[in-house]
Amino acid sequence: MSTWFRIALWKRVIAALVLGIAVGWLWGPGAESIKIVGDIFVAFIKMLVVPLIFFSLVAGVASIGDLRKLGSVGWRAMLLFVVTGQIAVWLGLLLGSVFRPGVGVDTSALQMGTIPEPSETTWREMVLGMVPQSPVQVMADVNVLPLIIFSLLLGIGILMAARDGEPVLKIFESGSVVMQKVTAIVMELTPFGVFALMAWVAGTLGLDALAALGQLVFLNYLGCLLIILLIYGGMIKFIARLPVIDFFRGMTDAIAVSYSTASSNATLPVTLRCAERNLGVSKSVASFVISLGATINMNGTAMYLGLATLFGAQLFGVDLSWGDYFMIALLGTLGAVGAAGIPGAGLIMMALVFGAVGVPLETIAFVAGVDRIMDMMRTTTNVTGDAAVATTVAVLTGEIDKAEMVSADDV
């Protein structure tokens, strides 16, 4: 037992990931029977999302000290979100037009999945939905964006109340420490959850669909890797001026959890923990930038929306003009912002982009069979992006403790 705990958690998680793939591959579809272990793990981390954001964001904002500092963190993060999102969607378009993955696909080898219902929400409803009308309702629904807004306002209120706000601040600071301990307990389930989820994916993956759509899957992985290595690696090396290897090593747990769960939201507690403990990002910047990023900063999804739209256009012979390309870039970024951090969210957002440029929605049914395996990589890209932006902003605003960027062996 003590030997188990002596092995660093990230090593146990990586071993579980590899072992899960091997077991699933040997076992085949029967591996679905252990998916329940993964579902339990995901349910436990989801349990953390609301209290963790609530306590750590309120305490974080209040301990930032003044509103000007909060503003300087906020605008830098937003700028990096927007710039990287644009690069990502254009990268998807570039890969799609150079490699033309939709040309010559044998569609008869594909099983049509069901096309998810496009969401009917108008932009008015979306804006109104961001207002935390009933904070308790927002928490009960695990509605992250309005929860962030409520927590920000509460933090600002504490700052404005100065001395009168101190007792409330103490409660939140203490609550945030307690929630970190609870997170540490749940994290011990990670190797088991990751193992079960990987076995399930590897065992049930449709190999026929994978063969027909292999090029699309490959380009999805290539695009995501380019974003992670070039954009995030470049940001860490040239703007934050930190060792790139240490950044990725510190992120190992979040990378494994995001890859196996395909959900940025479910990974949020793990990302926060990695950023604070392993990357030395201050609690205030980490909680603010990463919670926000988990819902609006999705570069893997943006890249994929660009790529998938070209794939559909090639599959059905739809001609696209330059105007269409700009439309895809715009809607791809908006779609990525609007996509919830849950499995398959990118698939639903495809309907938004396809509809605007005349690509048939049937494309969604064709790719649905292999979406999970692409979704896993998109999610890892999304999550790594949140941490890269948080780390960079922390360096730019003096909110990082470089000594904390420990070698992951100690974690």
Nearer to ligand ASP, 129 or 344 (CB): 344
- Distance (Å, rounded) from C-alpha 379 to C-alpha 387? 13
345 touches ligand ASP by CB under 6 A: yes
333 touches ligand ASP by CB under 6 A: no
- Distance (Å, rounded) from C-alpha 350 to C-alpha 188? 36
Q: How far is the CB of 266 from ligand ASP (least distance, A)?
A: 8
Half-sphere exposure of 158 (CA within 13 A, CB side): 23
Q: How far is the CB of 380 from ligand ASP (least distance, A)?
A: 9
Residue numbers 277-316 binding ligand ASP by CB under 6 A:
298, 301
Q: How many CB atoms lie within 10 A of CB 198?
A: 26
| Size of interface with ligand ASP, in residues (CB under 6 A) | 16
Residue numbers 370-399 binding ligand ASP by CB under 6 A:
375, 378-379, 382
Shortest-Cβ-distance residue relative to ligand ASP: 346
335 touches ligand ASP by CB under 6 A: no
Residue numbers 155-214 binding ligand ASP by CB under 6 A:
none
Nearer to ligand ASP, 289 or 342 (CB): 342
Q: How far is the CB of 379 from ligand ASP (least distance, A)?
A: 4
Cβ contacts of 398 within 8 Å, gap of 6 or more: none
Nearer to ligand ASP, 249 or 378 (CB): 378
344 touches ligand ASP by CB under 6 A: yes
Site stretch for ligand ASP (CB under 6 A), options 37-45, 154-162, 173-181, 338-346: 338-346
Cβ contacts of 126 within 8 Å, gap of 6 or more: 338
Q: Are 375 and 205 in contact (CB under 8 A)?
A: no
Site string for ligand ASP, 244-263 (x = CB under 6 A): ------------------xx
Nearer to ligand ASP, 100 or 372 (CB): 372
Q: Are 115 and 355 in contact (CB under 8 A)?
A: no
Q: How far is the CB of 142 from ligand ASP (least distance, A)?
A: 13
Cβ contacts of 173 within 8 Å, gap of 6 or more: 59, 63
- Distance (Å, rounded) from C-alpha 409 to C-alpha 411? 6
Task: Show the tokens assigned to 370.
Answer: 């292999």
357 touches ligand ASP by CB under 6 A: no
Task: Show the tokens assigned to 297.
Answer: 């900063």
Q: How far is the CB of 346 from ligand ASP (least distance, A)?
A: 3
Q: Which of 376, 336, 371 is nearest to 255 (CA)?
A: 376
84 touches ligand ASP by CB under 6 A: no
Q: Are 54 and 151 in contact (CB under 8 A)?
A: yes
Max distance between CA atoms of the chain, in angstroms, equals: 70
7 burial (CB, 10 Å; 0-12 / 13-18 / 19+) is exposed
Q: Which of 30, 349, 382 is nearest to 204 (CA)?
A: 30
Nearer to ligand ASP, 141 or 166 (CB): 141
Q: How far is the CB of 267 from ligand ASP (least distance, A)?
A: 8
Q: What secondary structure, in 3-state letters, does 207-240 show?
A: HHHHHHCHHHHHHHHHHHHHHHHHHHHHHHHHHC
332 touches ligand ASP by CB under 6 A: no
- Distance (Å, rounded) from C-alpha 302 to C-alpha 100? 18
Q: How far is the CB of 374 from ligand ASP (least distance, A)?
A: 8
Q: How far is the CB of 341 from ligand ASP (least distance, A)?
A: 4
56 touches ligand ASP by CB under 6 A: no
Nearer to ligand ASP, 303 or 408 (CB): 303
339 touches ligand ASP by CB under 6 A: yes
Q: How far is the CB of 289 from ligand ASP (least distance, A)?
A: 16
- 320 residue type, one letter: L
Nearer to ligand ASP, 284 or 381 (CB): 381
Local structure of 105: helix, strand or coil: coil
- Distance (Å, rounded) from C-alpha 263 to C-alpha 371? 13
Q: How far is the CB of 304 from ligand ASP (least distance, A)?
A: 6
Instruction: List contacts with ligand ASP (CB under 6 A).
Output: 262-264, 298, 301, 339, 341-346, 375, 378-379, 382
